Structure 1
Amino acid sequence: MNYDEVVQLKKSLAKAISEEKTSAILGIMKQFNDEVVVTKELLKKTDIGVFIGKQRSHPNADIARLAKDIVKKWKTAVQQSDPSKTNTSPKPNSDTINTVKVEDGGFVKPNPVDKSLTKRENSQGEISTPSPSLVKQENSFSENSSPSPGTPKIDNDRVINNKGDRSFKKDNVKYATGDSKRDKCIELLYDSLAFDSTHGSEIILSRAIKIEQIVLDQFDGEPEKQYRDKLRGMISNLKDKKNPGLRKGVVSGDITVQKFCIMTKEEMASEEKKARDREIQQVNLFKARGAGPTQAETNMFRCGKCGERKTTYFQMQTRSADEPMTTFVTCIVCNNRWKFC
């Protein structure tokens, strides 16, 4: 499979992932596994290793498992095809470590490592330091490593401790698109989703990345201000401490990323704010007279609150033209208000 075919297949996979079509995702990834003869040059040009590597944290177990198998297979193939990756590296107790480690399809060359750290880190695997050119760096958490001070401990994609005190920096998350503005938006999205969440950082990061990508695609070719304003509104509603249901729904998947990205600010608002808005709307409807006549006084209506028949009313077209007008009634005695069609 040549460069153009890999790029085209990558686009198909991205579309299937955004539409959450599990069978299509598995089919395309199997094509990558069976038909792609990977080389270091192909990985660098297409960035497919990074893209496949991201799916290792996919909520679907089959997709995540297949992604891990593909990354492992490609890593082995590239190392075997490069003579410099054979067993000619110095022993672990040397001053420098010259081995190369593949992470999510990208290649990084480690910097010299202090001897005092060599034995401890070699017990966990090869030592590597990501280069600045690496598009996506590995999350610093691993199943075999201990969390550093102040870092949440991950256990089966759950975070223990530090609830309510989490952020992109405090979770020590590493991710970069190469565009500083996009990186900042992803970081802010992560902060708004994570600060009181008990989910693993990989899940939260994947949600933030997908949200930013969908919004970017929505406003592709349009003024950057629309992209920023859309994200600003989303982040504001996600950060609202009185709106935990929205955060939990997006992170858990109860509210899909696709649905969240097309929700209006009103739909994202907390239940408290929605109730307040409905109340204000009711008051405004009663106050609105339009160009119609002033409200008339009548005894046709009986107040359900005080039982008096001293009322005023007016009518207004609040629905489509073929629907009957809405009658708004106000009790003169107790100021109770109601409406009917």
Structure 2
Amino acid sequence: MNADEIIQLKKSLTKALESGKIVSVLELMNKLKDKVPSKEVLKRTEIGLIIGRQRTHPNPEVAKLAKEIVKKWKDAVNTIKPNDIPNGFTKSTVPESKAETAKSVTSKPSPKVNGKPRPPKRENTQDSVISSSSDTPTSISSEKQERNFDRDRPAYKSTNNSARDKCVKMLYDSMAFDSCADSDLILLRAITVEKTVFDQFGRQVVDKYRDKLRGLISNLRDKKNPGLRKRVVDGELQVQNFCTMSKEDMASEEKKARDNEIRQENLFKARGAGPAQAETDMFLCGKCRNRKCTYYQMQTRSADEPMTTFVTCTVCNNHWKDSSGDP
């Protein structure tokens, strides 16, 4: 089962769980049970996280099936092939054998000279440098390197337009640098995004085409918004919708919440569009339970809707709004 099939089943399963359709949930989970994804596919699609959460589902059938799937996938992933480990060692014995070898070397008694222990032989400084430098590539290669188009070298067919090809590569880099997804899948998304924008501007490489792609790449590349990259790569966010989203729509959930707080705060600070504040005891503060409040009203919705009342507690400075229109 490839990644695209898993992603489609994942989306359907999520919708079924949100709507509480137990029959559909069991049907989709049985489809997943019949196939065992590879470790790479499990890591890339994160389907294991969704199935794992269902082990505590209120429905006993769903919970039981989830446990069976998790056990089946764990057994399949944890199966170790003999050829994967050299010289017949297991993963647990390889580090121990190295430790024992080092211990036996260091514990060997040093020879004596004239009844006194001979000082340890000093290694050649140049040999030590060479030895330490030889370890450096291993430590560097073990670190996770940032992915990009040139490093992954996906099978890309040129558009015979250098500007378009460059945009595809930049889109690929913006989605791949911290992703575990397959390079072919990321390339497909990059090509689709570029082609969609290219079609939007009359199939011509104009300034508006470049500006649009520049904005999309900037938002995809934002390290504070990994959810946007993941949704585009996984296909949860359709490319057509992504290419028509505004910068505010593409913002992370944290930024949206922060911007909303700022807007609400600005509404409370605005005074010019409404009458002066008046004192009242008609409102009960939900924070300190006092009724010493001030309020003012503003028209924040359409003209046929009642005005919004903004209330501030004079005791604890808590403020809230009431949309009923009545003070």
Give the alignment's TM-score, normalised by structure 1. 0.50
Paired residue for 2:267? 285
Q: Which amino acid aligns with 2:297?
A: Q
Cα distance in 2 for partners of 1:318, 1:223 equals 42
**Aligned positions of 1:15-164 closer than 5 A:** none
Alignment-derived partner of residue 171 in structure 1? 152
Structure 2: 5+ residue runs without aligned partners? 1-136
Partner of residue 258 from structure 1, selected from 213, 222, 240: 240
Counterpart residue number, 2:223: 241
Which residue is equivalent to 2:310? 328
Given residue 152 of structure 2, which amino acid in structure 1 is its aligned partner?
D
Distance of 1:327 and 1:273 partners within structure 2: 26
**Among candidates 204, 207, 211, match of residue 225 of structure 1:** 207
Rounded to whole Å, the distance in 1 between the matches of 2:163 and 2:313 is: 57
Give the aligned partner of residue 301 of structure 2.
319
> For residues 221 and 177 of structure 1, do their structure 2 counterparts lie closer, same or farther at Cα, with a shift above 3 Å needed?
closer
Matched, 1:340 2:322: yes
Q: CA offset at residue 337 of structure 1?
A: 0.9
Matched with 2:17 is: none
Change (3 A) 1:225 1:316: farther
Contact 1:186 1:212 in 2 (8 A): yes
Percent of pairs with identical residues:
65
Bigger Cα Rg: 2
**Partner of residue 305, structure 1:** 287
1:199-218 CA distance string (max 9 Å, x none):
22111111111101111211
Q: For residue 238 of structure 1, report the CA deviation from its aligned partner.
A: 1.2
1-side partners of 2:180 and 2:234: how far apart?
10
Give the Cα separation in 2 of the matches to 1:162 and 1:235: 26
Considering fraction of residues, name the structure with more helix. 2
Distance 1:222 1:277 in 2: 36
CA contact (8 A) 2:176 2:186 kept: yes
How far has the Cα of 1:261 moved from its partner? 1.3
Deviation at 1:312, TM superposition (A): 1.3
Structure 1 residues 177 and 268, CA gap change in structure 2 (3 angstroms):
same
Check whether the contact 2:163–2:205 (CA below 8 A) recurs between aligned residues.
no
* Change in CA separation of 1:199 and 1:268 when aligned onto 2, cut-off 3 Å: same
On the 8 A contact 1:311/1:332 being kept in 2, the answer is yes
Extract structure 1 runs of 4+ deviating beyond 4 A: 161-164
Tell me what 2:177 maps to.
Answer: 195
**Letter of the aligned partner of 2:319 in structure 1?**
R
Instruction: Render the CA deviation track for 1:124-149: whole Å, top value 9, x for unaligned.
Output: xxxxxxxxxxxxxxxxxxxxxxxxxx
Q: 1:191 to 1:197 in 2, by over 3 A?
A: same
User: Structure 1 stretches of 5 or more lacking a match?
Assistant: 1-149, 151-160
1:268 aligns with 2:250: yes
**Contact in 1 for aligned 2:297/2:310 (Cα 8 Å):** yes
Q: Which residue of 1 aligns with 2:134?
A: none
Shift of residue 192, structure 1, vs aligned partner: 0.9
Following superposition, the deviation at residue 299 of structure 1 comes to 1.9
Instruction: Count the aligned residue pairs.
Output: 182
Q: Taking structure 1 as reference, are residues 229 and 333 closer, same or farther at Cα in structure 2, changes over 3 Å only? A: farther
Using a 3 Å threshold, how does the CA distance of structure 1 residues 287 and 164 change in structure 2: closer, same or farther? Answer: farther
CA contact (8 A) 1:163 1:198 kept: no
User: Scaled by the length of structure 2, what TM-score is found?
Assistant: 0.52
